[in-house]
């Protein structure tokens, strides 16, 4: 009887447990994000005297997480206490009923004592089994999040190996949207001959990096087509695309491994000598050897033990070691200090000899010698041509050049 009553009480208290747990997960994520943001931006916070405001956001997230659990436990306290008290109280019914049956002669004493012992031993495993309700709710929430990743739309590529004719790239009527609704690229048409240097310039948010990442095969185009060496990217294996393209962005990720291992990711079969040669060519050998453990120095999570310029040079070394026929540089010298910029530019020149090169640049002086400069504006090709031609025919490019030259003069 107490088992049935206890189960009824427990069911009433646990009916909204999955919903509550999902809310607890969201509160925990909100708190974690606030902590990471606060710690990551603490230098900026101090520099601009924003300690009070930024700390409030952090403390509000922490307090919300704590209060959520307190309110949840307070809400369920009565039912939790009730079923924890009712379930083990089996002797309330067993003793008087069993004693009455024994007095009437319908129950032997040995059987009566056995029933008492069994009833006491029955509740422990049942209560232990009920604790899995918590685990099931946790599992359900986690499985749902994992399922969202596993069920996400995959890149649609064929698995048949093909042979490229060359490294020429062509974009035909390419449109693209990240969320399937808002287009960020509109009917882009662009031809990049093999062995040439093409520069993508334009205002921030115009779509330059999106074009480069579509060429690198990070996403499939929404409409239109991109070809590499005469073959559509969708007809190529993802591994083939990756083998043909080296992508160096302004925010390169380094793994929490040694510098040697991070560079060797460009070509896992490379020897130590080849890794060190790539580091010398990219201008990072000198600072690496000054570290306590040299090339065996662990860079920390996301390269946190190194400066932005040092991470950038290691990423360039990794690309040089890969030696792919197509190189995409997305503001590759953004974090390089003036002292080392000339060295890195020389390294990039060595890296890109005889290769198809695509450069995204805000420093227009670095791309004046490009074979073709493509001005991107609002997700479309606004103009293209050589530096001299664009200065004559494209007001937007001319304004960008004047602004760049003016900024250099002021410096």
Count the domains in the chain: 2
Dihedral Cα 247, 252, 255, 257, nearest 10 deg: 90
pLDDT of residue 374: 92
Residue 64 neighbours by CB distance under 10 Å:
13
Exposure of 224 in the CB half-sphere (CA atoms within 13 A): 22
Residues 6+ apart with CB under 8 A from 84: 127
Question: In the structure encoding, which two tokens stand for residue 376, read together?
Answer: 């991107």
51 pLDDT higher than 60: no
Do 181 and 249 lie in one domain? The reply is yes
- Give the pairing type, strands 326-330 and 245-248: parallel
Same domain, 138 and 189: no
Last residue in a domain, options 91, 121, 150: 150
Is the domain of 122 the same as that of 179? no
Question: Which two three-digit tokens encode residue 407?
Answer: 């900024």
- Tell me: do 119 and 174 sit in the same domain: no
Q: What is the mean pLDDT of the chain?
A: 81
Using alpha carbons, select from 329, 323, 369, 330 the residue that is nearest to residue 350.
323
46 and 88 both lie in a single domain: yes
Task: Give me the phi and psi of 154, to 5 degrees please.
Answer: -85, 155
Q: Is residue 163 part of a domain?
A: no
Q: Does residue 239 lie within any of the structural domains?
A: yes
Same domain, 132 and 229: no
Asked whether residue 144 falls in the same domain as residue 221, the answer is: no
In degrees and rounded to multiples of 5, residue 10 shows phi and psi of -65, -40
- End of a domain among 150, 185, 201? 150
Is the residue at 156 inside a domain? no
Q: What is the mean pLDDT of residues 240-261?
A: 85
Give me the domain span that covers residue 344.
169-410
> Could you report the per-residue pLDDT of 209-235, keeping only the tens digit for each?
899 989 988 888 888 999 998 888 888
Helix and strand numbers, DSSP H then E, in the chain: 16, 10
**Would 387 be classed as within a structural domain?**
yes
Higher pLDDT: 13 or 149? It is 149
135 token code pair? 């685990």
Of the three residues 81, 116, 150, the one that is the final residue of a domain is 150
- pLDDT tens by residue, 13-31: 677 777 777 788 888 888 8
191 and 337 inside one domain: yes
Does the structure show a pLDDT above 60 at 1? yes
Indicate the DSSP class of residue 360. Answer: E
Q: Is residue 158 part of a domain?
A: no
Residue 295 lies in a domain: yes
CATH of the domain at 221: 3.40.50.300
Q: Are residues 372 and 342 in the same domain?
A: yes
DSSP assignment of 209-263 equals HHHHHHHTTSS--SEEEEEETTEEGGGS-HHHHHHHEEEE-SS----SSBHHHHH
In this prediction, residue 34 carries a pLDDT of 82
Residue 46 domain flag = yes
- Per-residue pLDDT tens for 264-281? 988 888 899 999 988 888
| Strand 231-232 versus strand 197-201 pairing type | unpaired
161 domain-assigned: no
Q: Is pLDDT of 321 > 50?
A: yes
Domain identity same for 102 and 178: no
Name the burial class of residue 83, with classes exposed (0-12), middle (13-18) and buried (19+) by CB atoms within 10 angstroms of its CB: buried
Say if residue 145 is in the same domain as residue 195: no
Whether residue 119 is found in the same domain as residue 209: no
């Amino acid at each position: 009887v107490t088992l049935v009553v206890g189960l009824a009480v427990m069911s009433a208290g646990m009916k909204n447990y999955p919903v509550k747990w999902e809310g607890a997960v969201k509160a925990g994520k909100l708190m974690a994000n606030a902590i990471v943001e606060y710690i990551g931006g603490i230098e900026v916070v101090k520099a601009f005297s924003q300690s009070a405001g930024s700390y409030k956001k952090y403390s509000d997230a922490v307090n919300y997480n704590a209060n959520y659990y307190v309110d949840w436990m307070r809400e369920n306290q009565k039912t939790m206490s009730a079923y924890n008290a009712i379930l083990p109280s089996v002797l309330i019914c067993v003793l008087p009923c069993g004693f009455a049956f024994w007095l009437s002669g319908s129950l032997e004493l040995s059987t009566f004592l056995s029933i008492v012992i069994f009833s006491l031993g029955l509740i422990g495993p049942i209560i232990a089994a009920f604790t899995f309700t918590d685990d099931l709710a946790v599992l359900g929430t986690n499985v749902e999040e994992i399922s969202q990743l596993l069920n996400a739309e995959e890149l649609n590529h064929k698995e048949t190996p093909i042979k490229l004719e060359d490294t020429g790239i062509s974009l035909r009527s390419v449109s693209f949207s990240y969320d399937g609704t808002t287009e960020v690229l509109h009917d882009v048409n662009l031809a990049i001959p093999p062995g040439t240097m093409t520069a993508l310039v334009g205002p921030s948010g115009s779509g330059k990096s999106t074009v480069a990442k579509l060429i690198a095969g990070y996403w499939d185009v929404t409409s239109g087509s991109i070809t590499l060496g005469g073959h559509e990217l969708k007809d190529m294996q993802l591994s083939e695309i990756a083998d043909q393209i080296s992508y160096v962005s302004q925010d390169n990720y380094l793994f929490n491994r040694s510098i040697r291992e991070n560079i060797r990711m460009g070509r896992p079969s490379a020897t130590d000598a080849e890794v060190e040669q790539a580091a010398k060519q990219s201008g990072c050998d000198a600072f690496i050897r000054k570290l306590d453990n040299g090339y065996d120095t662990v860079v920390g999570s996301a390269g946190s033990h190194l400066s932005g310029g040092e991470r950038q040079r290691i990423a360039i070394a990794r690309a040089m070691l890969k030696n792919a026929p197509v190189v995409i540089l997305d503001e590759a010298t953004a974090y390089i200090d003036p002292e080392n910029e000339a060295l890195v530019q020389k390294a990039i020149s060595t890296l890109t000899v005889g290769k198809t090169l695509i450069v995204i640049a805000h420093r227009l002086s670095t791309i004046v010698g490009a074979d073709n400069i493509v001005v991107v504006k609002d997700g479309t090709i606004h103009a293209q041509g050589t530096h001299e031609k664009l200065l004559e025919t494209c007001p937007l490019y001319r304004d960008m050049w004047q602004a760049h030259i003016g900024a250099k003069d002021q410096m």
